[in-house]
Amino acid sequence: MQALFDGSEESPEAGLGVVSGKLKLFNNETKAVPHIGWNNAATRTFTDNSLYGLRPHSKYYYVHSYARIVADAKELEGWDLATAKYGEEEFVGAISKGNIFATQFHPEKSGKAGLRVLKAFLTHERLSPLSSMATKIEEQAGFGGLTRRVIACLDVRTNDQGDLVVTKGDQYDVREKAAGGGVRNLGKPVEMAKKYYESGADEVTFLNITSFRNCPVRDVPMLEVLRKTSETVFVPLTIGGGIRDVVDTDGTTVSALEVATMYFKSGADKVSIGSDAVTAAEEYYQRGKTLSGTTAIEQISKAYGNQAVVVSVDPRRVYVSSPDSSSRNMIKTAFPGPNGEEYCWYQCTIKGGREGRDLDVQQLVQAVEAMGAGEILLNCIDKDGTNSGFDLELIQTVKNVIKIPVIASSGAGNPAHFQEVFEKTTTDAALGAGMVNST
C-alpha cells in the first residue's frame, strides 16, 4: 500500500504517486514503534457498507513504523478509506477506488477476518451491506485502537527417539523427574500450532531449544514445520533458536542472514535471537556504543526491517543490600531477597540461563534497540516454570528505557496473570508457554 503514495520519510525515493500524500513515522515519543499487533480497519467514508469484507468490530494484524496519517481527509477525496488509530494518530488501514484495493494491515496474517477480506477481493465483492448489528457495533466502538497481544509459545526439540515434539521446561529442564525420564512430549508442533490459532492466539512462536545440531542447514526440521504450519495458521509466526552464523555439515559457512532468509521463505514472519545478542551488546559497549554493521541483528533488520527481528532476553535478579553497592541499574523491589535485601538489578545470561554476563538488562535492551531490533521478548529466569505470574517490576523497568514493543514472558500460570500484566504494566504483549502447552 505504501508504494502507492507520493513518498515516505523512510526513503528519499519517490512513490508511485497514485494516491496523494507522504508517509510519516509514528510519534515514538508517546508509544512503541513499530506499531505491531491487532487494530481496526473501520470504514470512514460510509457506514452502511463493508469495503471488501472489512467489518468495524473485527481486528486486523499490522506491523509497520510509517503510515499515511489522515490529518486532512480532503487530500483523499474520491477514495474509500478504512482507518485505524494508534495513540492519537489516525492512519490509513486500507484504501480503495475503482480496481485498486490496498491494505496497510496483512490480511494473510489476520486470521478469519483477513481471509474474509481476501475472499471478497477475489470474488469482486467490493461493497456489501453491513448488518444493522454491525453498524450499531461500529457506532458504539468507534476506533478501538491497538489491542495487546496474547502469544502462544511452543518449545520444540527432538526427543530420545528422534521425533520432533513440543516439550515443557522446568527452569530449562525438559525431562521427566523420574529416573531415566525422557523428554516431555506434549504433542506435534504443527498440530499444536493449529490448535492455538483456532483457540484465538494472536501469534505463535516456535522456540527451537536444541537448534537441531548435526543436520544440514537447508534440511533442518523446523523449515518443514513452518511450511506445514503456514498452510493452516493465519497469524504471525516467530522462530527462535539457531539464528546465527553456522558451519554446515559440508564445511560451508552460512551467515545468520542466510539462516533467517530460509526461515522467512518457509513461512516465518519474525526471527528471535538470544545469546548472540548479548555478545553483540557487549561488543557494542566495548566500541563506545558504536555499531559494527556486521551483527545478525543489524544484517537481518537491514534486509527485512526491524519488525522482523525479536531479541530474546533472559535476565535474573541479583539482590544487593543498598543501591550504592553496585554501579548497575538498580530498582527498589517490593519483593526482598533471601536476606531481606530491598534492591536488585537484572543480570543478563546466555546459554539458556546457565551463564551470567557482566551486563544488566537495561544496557542490553538499549543496545539491541540501537542495532535495529524491533521487539524484545522479555523472559525472567526467576519466574520460569513457577506459574506464579510475570515479573511486573522487570517488565516495567524495561518498558521505561526503550521505545520498541516488549513481550512479557515467563511465569504465566493462569489467565488472571495475563490480565494482571496488562493492567499493571504497559507491556505490548504477553506470552505463555508452559501454561498453554499443558491445557
Question: Which residue is associated with the grid cell 531479541?
Answer: 311
At residue 382, the pLDDT reads 93
With residue 302 as reference, give the H or E element that holds it. helix 296-304
Q: What residues have CB less than 8 Å from 27, skipping those under 6 apart?
A: 87, 89
CA distances (Å), origin 229, targets 31, 232, 237: 32, 6, 9
Q: What is the pLDDT of residues 287-345, one digit of tens each?
A: 999 999 999 999 999 999 999 999 999 999 999 999 888 889 999 999 999 999 999 99
Q: What does pTM read for this prediction?
A: 0.90
* C-alpha span between 313 and 272 (Å, rounded): 10
DSSP string, 173-233: B-B-SSTT--B---B-HHHHHHHHHHTT-SEEEEEESSTT-SS-GGG-HHHHHHHHHHTT-
Q: What is the pLDDT of residues 418-429, one digit of tens each?
A: 999 999 999 999
* C-alpha span between 292 and 280 (Å, rounded): 9
Question: What parts of the chain have a pLDDT lower than 50?
Answer: 133-142, 170-172, 175, 178-179, 183
Enumerate the β-bridge partners of residue 346. Answer: 317
CA angle 225, 230, 231 (to 5 degrees): 105
* C-alpha span between 111 and 198 (Å, rounded): 9
* C-alpha span between 364 and 311 (Å, rounded): 10
Active site residue 382: no
Point out the catalytic residue in the list 80, 202, 269, 314. 314
Question: For residue 119, which amino acid is it?
Answer: K
Burial bucket for residue 256 (CB in 10 Å: 0-12, 13-18, 19+): buried
Q: Report the relative pairing of strands 253-254 and 203-208 from DSSP bridges.
A: unpaired
Contact 406, 428 (CB under 8 A): yes
Cell matching residue 136: 450499531
Three-state SS at 111: helix
Q: Where are the beta strands (DSSP E) in 281-353?
A: 309-313, 315-320, 331-332, 343-350
* C-alpha span between 322 and 339 (Å, rounded): 12
At residue 43, the pLDDT reads 81
Active site residue 314: yes
Point out the catalytic residue in the list 80, 155, 269, 384. 155
* C-alpha span between 53 and 110 (Å, rounded): 13
Closest-CA residue to 153 (of 378, 423, 344, 416): 378
The DSSP secondary-structure symbol of 75 reads: G
Spell out a b/e string for 339-357, using b for 16 or more CB atoms within 10 Å of the CB, else e: eebbbbbbbbbbebbeebb
Q: What is the pLDDT of residues 13-61, one digit of tens each?
A: 899 999 999 999 999 898 999 999 999 998 876 656 778 999 888 999 9
Enumerate the β-bridge partners of residue 51. Answer: 127
